[in-house]
């Protein structure tokens, strides 16, 4: 049984001061809802906020993630972030391949493969984001796109247990203009991802959580979390707003996702 994952990437939001008070509240909620050991929380602040966040979260039931890292430890890579430094700051997770990084910064599946290898080398969890765009969905090539992304990013990886998390984030469902995905569609896609992971990772696949992300809200979280191969939610806007996040967690609790009755 995998604990249910609940986490958020802040993207390029929040000042240091906002970050501190947000984390205090997030931590209070995480302590409360992870008590039974059925849920695992994580936050992914901007790089400049990681040191303060690492100090605050040390020993707490919240894993800390970074939004990107280079695949090399050191070298002539101006402006880049070394996984060694992230380790020093107490980071547990590296988010890789978010669609905004793919779209605006040309992050590709082959670079992601190098980054997953770097994460493995440093005992960091790779939170690998995959997803089709609207055009690919319309052309009916979602499964092919996701298989391509997974096969390239996980090429020649023999992962340690709990070192790869996959987030399915359909590009058309993310952010302000995003359209929330239909739960039937999410169920279908997650089953395909699970099958592909089985093929690529063998036995480790059963212990590789698949999160869903893209316009997750208090309204749709319970239904999404109940789907068979959905092992967590990766939340943007609805987690940044603490009122919405509190409501979302209470919906998950009522749906039994954060309690003893949760089995998946």
**Total residue length of the chain:** 264
Q: Note the helical H segments in the chain.
A: 16-33, 50-57, 83-88, 99-105, 109-121, 134-138, 142-153, 183-201, 221-225, 237-240, 242-254
Binding-site member from 146, 150, 193, 216 for ligand PGA (CB under 6 A):
216
Sole binder of ligand PGA in the list 234, 245, 249, 257 (CB under 6 A): 234
Give catalytic status of residue 98 as yes or no. yes
**Those residues with Cβ within 8 angstroms of residue 56's Cβ, 6 or more apart along the chain or in another chain:** 20, 23, 24, 27
Q: Is 170 exposed, middle or buried (0-12, 13-18, 19+ CB in 10 A)?
A: buried
Residue 132 binding ligand PGA, by CB under 6 A:
no
Ranked by CB distance to ligand PGA, the top (closest) residue is 236
Q: Cβ(180)–Cβ(217) under 8 Å?
A: yes
- Closest separation in Å from C-beta 175 to ligand PGA: 5
Q: For residues 75 and 64, is the Cβ–Cβ distance under 8 A?
A: no
Cβ of residue 144: shortest distance to ligand PGA, in angstroms?
Answer: 22
Among 190, 229, 237, 251, contact with ligand PGA (rule: CB under 6 A): 237
196, 168 in Cβ contact below 8 A?
no
Residue 128, interface with ligand PGA (CB under 6 A)?
no
Kindly state whether residue 7 participates in binding ligand PGA, applying the rule CB under 6 A: no
Q: Does 66 bind ligand PGA (CB under 6 A)?
A: no
DSSP-derived letter for residue 207 is G
> Shortest Cβ distance from residue 78 to ligand PGA (Å)?
27
Vertex 53 angle, CA 167 and 220, to 5°: 35
- Is 97 a binding residue for ligand PGA by CB under 6 A? The answer is no
**In terms of Cα–Cα distance, which of 26, 2, 24 is closest to 239?**
26
Tell me, yes or no, if 155 is annotated catalytic.
Answer: no
**Member of 5, 6, 7, 9 binding ligand PGA (CB under 6 A):** 9
Euclidean distance between CA atoms 209 and 225, whole angstroms: 12
Site for ligand PGA in 137-196 (CB under 6 A): 169, 174-175, 178
Using CB under 6 A as the binding rule, whether residue 235 contacts ligand PGA is answered as yes
101 vs 147 by CB, closer to ligand PGA: 101
Q: Which stretch binds ligand PGA (CB under 6 A): 23-31, 81-89, 197-205, 236-244?
A: 236-244
> Is residue 218 part of the contact set for ligand PGA (CB under 6 A)?
no
Nearest to ligand PGA of 201, 211 (CB atom): 211
Catalytic residues, which ones? 98, 169
- Which residues would be at the binding site for ligand PGA (CB under 6 A)? 9, 169, 174-175, 178, 213-216, 234-238
């Amino acid at each position: 049984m995998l604990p249910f994952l609940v986490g958020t990437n802040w993207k390029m939001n929040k000042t240091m001061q906002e970050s501190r008070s947000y984390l205090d509240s997030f931590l209070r909620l995480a302590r409360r809802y992870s008590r039974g050991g059925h849920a695992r929380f994580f936050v992914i602040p901007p790089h400049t906020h990681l040191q303060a966040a690492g100090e605050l979260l040390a020993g707490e039931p919240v894993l800390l993630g970074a939004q990107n890292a280079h695949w090399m430890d050191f070298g002539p890579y101006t402006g880049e972030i070394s996984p060694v430094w992230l380790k020093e700051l107490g980071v547990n997770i590296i988010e890789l391949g978010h669609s905004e990084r793919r779209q605006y910064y040309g992050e590709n599946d082959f670079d992601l493969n190098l980054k997953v290898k770097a994460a493995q080398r440093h005992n960091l969890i790779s939170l690998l984001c995959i997803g089709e765009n609207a055009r690919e969905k319309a052309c009916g090539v979602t499964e092919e796109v996701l298989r391509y992304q997974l096969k390239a990013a996980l090429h020649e990886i023999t992962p340690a247990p709990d070192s790869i998390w996959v987030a399915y984030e359909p590009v058309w469902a993310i952010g302000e203009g995003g359209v929330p995905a239909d739960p039937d569609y999410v169920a279908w896609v997650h089953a395909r991802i699970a099958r592909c992971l089985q093929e690529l990772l063998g036995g480790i696949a059963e212990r590789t959580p698949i999160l869903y992300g893209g316009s997750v809200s208090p309204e749709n979280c319970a239904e999404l979390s109940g789907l068979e191969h959905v092992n967590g939610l990766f939340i943007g806007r609805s987690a940044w707003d603490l009122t919405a996040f509190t409501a979302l967690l209470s919906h998950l609790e009522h749906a039994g996702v954060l309690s003893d009755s949760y089995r998946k």
